[in-house]
Amino acid sequence: MHFLIMHKNDPATEAGQLPPKELIAEMGAFIGEQAKAGRLVDGAGLGASKTRTRLTFRGGRCTVKQGPYGGEHELPAAMLLLKVRTREEAIGWAERYGKILGDGEIELGKVNEPWDLGMVPPPENPPLQILLIEKADATTEAGARSPQQKAALTRLKTEMTNAGVLVGGRRLQPSAKGKRLVFAKNDLRVLDGPFAESKELLGGFAVMDLSGVDDAIELCRRYAKILGGTLEIDLRPVDHDDDAA
């Protein structure tokens, strides 16, 4: 069973501070262990809100806001990983995506690359990897999109794939099937969904192939310990009838 494990942004990341080399090494070893075991499917980290763009759709109009900004409505319904040359290109695709859905919100977050973390020198003119986050609404929380919306999204994603833009995607099951893990000095409190909202910006995610919820929670304990033991993690099952990929 695939689970999406999402940790929330923290003040150090939002301030643009690079993670300590020891943390990068420990997290790298943990990720390598999970990949070797065949449990890691996908994952990425995101930077501060100054590297992000928020698109709000109301009444057929789109408002674009560049970061930095605080968290508002940060409960995701789906994620698409895009590879583009410019942020403007990503915004263009996101506008088309959002207009299919109607009123709602989309966030575009630049994926952290090794050179963003000071691990290697930056290459010349690298492509941008952007995570498109479709925010949840009453329709997605009910587990439904109209047939017309699904068909239009499928056509758009096919176009994005043919253009070499769409790398992959995940649609999540409603938050009623998720858990929120609140760690305080490695002590864990588990909250059952549904969740009306989340105010904290997404800091990163991992898609894991796990045996079940208990397995996912135990993995999150190790994940949280590496990140300092005080943070919030959302755990959501991935929709296997996914139309996001």
Tens digit of pLDDT at every position of the chain (245 positions): 999 999 998 888 888 888 888 988 998 899 999 999 999 999 999 989 999 999 999 999 999 999 999 988 899 999 999 999 999 999 999 999 999 999 999 999 999 998 888 788 888 888 999 999 999 999 999 988 889 999 999 999 999 999 999 999 999 999 999 999 999 999 999 999 998 777 889 998 999 999 999 999 999 999 999 989 999 999 999 987 654 44
C-alpha span between 161 and 198 (Å, rounded): 31
- What's the confidence (pLDDT) of residue 243? 45
- What's the confidence (pLDDT) of residue 234? 95
Q: Confirm if 22 and 28 have CB atoms less than 8 A apart.
A: no
Q: Where are the domains of the chain?
A: 2-237
Give the pair of three-digit tokens for residue 95: 């506008």
**b/e sequence 95-133, b meaning 16+ C-beta within 10 Å:** eebbbbbeebbbbbbbbbbeeeeeeeeeeeeeebbbbbb
C-alpha span between 60 and 51 (Å, rounded): 26
Q: In the chain, how long is the greatest CA-to-CA distance?
A: 49
